[in-house]
């Protein structure tokens, strides 16, 4: 379960960062 949480956390962070970068442009 730890690995799953780690992957999910990284994916969420990456997705949020992508959206944030697009917003700032």
Q: What is the pLDDT of residues 1-25, one digit of tens each?
A: 799 999 999 999 999 999 887 766 6
- Looking at residue 9, its pLDDT comes to 96
Q: What is the pTM of this model?
A: 0.51
Structure tokens at 17: 């960062």
Kindly report the number of other CB atoms within 10 A of residue 22's CB atom: 8
- C-alpha–C-alpha distance, residues 22 and 25, integer Å: 5
- C-alpha–C-alpha distance, residues 8 and 17, integer Å: 14
- C-alpha–C-alpha distance, residues 6 and 11, integer Å: 9
């Amino acid at each position: 379960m730890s690995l799953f949480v780690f992957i999910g956390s990284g994916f969420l962070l990456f997705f949020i960062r992508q959206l944030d970068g697009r917003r700032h442009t």
